[in-house]
Amino acid sequence: AQSVAQPEDQVNVAEGNPLTVKCTYSVSGNPYLFWYVQYPNRGLQFLLKYITGDNLVKGSYGFEAEFNKSQTSFHLKKPSALVSDSALYFCAVRALSNFGNEKLTFGTGTRLTIIP
Amino acid sequence: DARVTQTPRHKVTEMGQEVTMRCQPILGHNTVFWYRQTMMQGLELLAYFRNRAPLDDSGMPKDRFSAEMPDATLATLKIQPSEPRDSAVYFCASGPTLVGAGETQYFGPGTRLLVL
């Protein structure tokens, strides 16, 4: 079975500081990994994904994530946080080995608060 | 700018009433997902379709929930009879064919359901 874990329910970062939102995964086979963001009263929005290739993936709004196979992690990062980055962030995984199975498994979410 | 649309955006109803939620996927997308989001359970996959055929509805309570795709432009989720514990935000998402690639899911704005 595939799963992701987001160990932190809440992350607080001062504006201008670097931020990290953690995610670890468990799949059989090679993973497809995603980050989504949810602003209040909105649906989830795609940020970035890792399929294959370069372990550092760049996405929307200046976010990036690093795929680390040995640590089975896919942490989301940004060099300098903005107040507008405050939102709920979800990590998700799909198992490549499950051919034809488009199901994504989402983490429980991490609420990121950027403090002015 | 193609988007997933959902109607209604808000619904308040009384216990025992039928609730129908509608989703229009992005034109050309042939996978459609229904999710439910609550504070307690987080984001749960209820069901998903590919080419209008249900592939997995294991996350959906069968006795009261039903999901259909009458045509490629409309997906419906019905609850009959509704119960207070069904109160949640229901999201629809769509995506292109995922064969051989980690395609992105695009989420609608959600239907906020309150069952009294």
**Given pLDDT bands bounded at 50, 70 and 90, which one contains residue A111?**
very high
**pLDDT beyond 70 at B100:** no
Write out the DSSP string of B73-101. Answer: TEEEEEESS--GGG-EEEEEEEE---TTS
Query: Is the minimum CB–CB distance between B109 and chain A shorter than 8 Å?
Result: yes
pLDDT of residue A30: 81
- Determine the residue among A44, A47, A49, A91 to mutate to test chain B binding: the one whose Cβ has the most chain B Cβ atoms within 10 Å: A44
Residues in A touching B4 (Cβ below 8 Å): 43
pLDDT of residue B102: 60
What's the mean per-residue pLDDT of chain A?
91
Give how far A27 is from chain B: nearest CA, Å.
15
CB contact under 8 A, A103 and B45: yes
**pLDDT beyond 90 at A39:** yes
pLDDT, tens digit (0-9, with 9 covering 90-100), for A47-98: 999 988 899 999 999 999 999 999 999 999 999 999 999 999 999 998 654 5
- For residue A88, how many C-alpha atoms fall within 13 Å in the half-sphere facing its CB? 16
What's the mean per-residue pLDDT of chain B?
90
**pLDDT beyond 70 at A2:** yes
**Could you tell me if B106 and A46 are in contact, meaning their C-beta atoms sit under 8 angstroms apart?**
yes
**Given pLDDT bands bounded at 50, 70 and 90, which one contains residue A27?**
confident
**Could you tell me if B94 and B106 are in contact, meaning their C-beta atoms sit under 8 angstroms apart?**
yes
**Could you tell me if A59 and A47 are in contact, meaning their C-beta atoms sit under 8 angstroms apart?**
yes
Q: Cis peptide leading into B8, omega within 30 of 0?
A: yes
Average pLDDT over residues B11-17: 97
**Could you tell me if B98 and A102 are in contact, meaning their C-beta atoms sit under 8 angstroms apart?**
yes
Residues in B touching A100 (Cβ below 8 Å): 98-99
**pLDDT beyond 70 at A17:** yes
Of the ranges A93-107, B56-70, B77-91, which is most confident?
B77-91
**pLDDT beyond 70 at A101:** no
Q: Quick one: what percent of chain A has pLDDT higher than 90?
A: 73
Handedness of CA A34, A107, A26, B57 (dihedral sign): negative
Give the C-alpha separation, B28 to A3, whole Å: 29
pLDDT of residue A97: 47
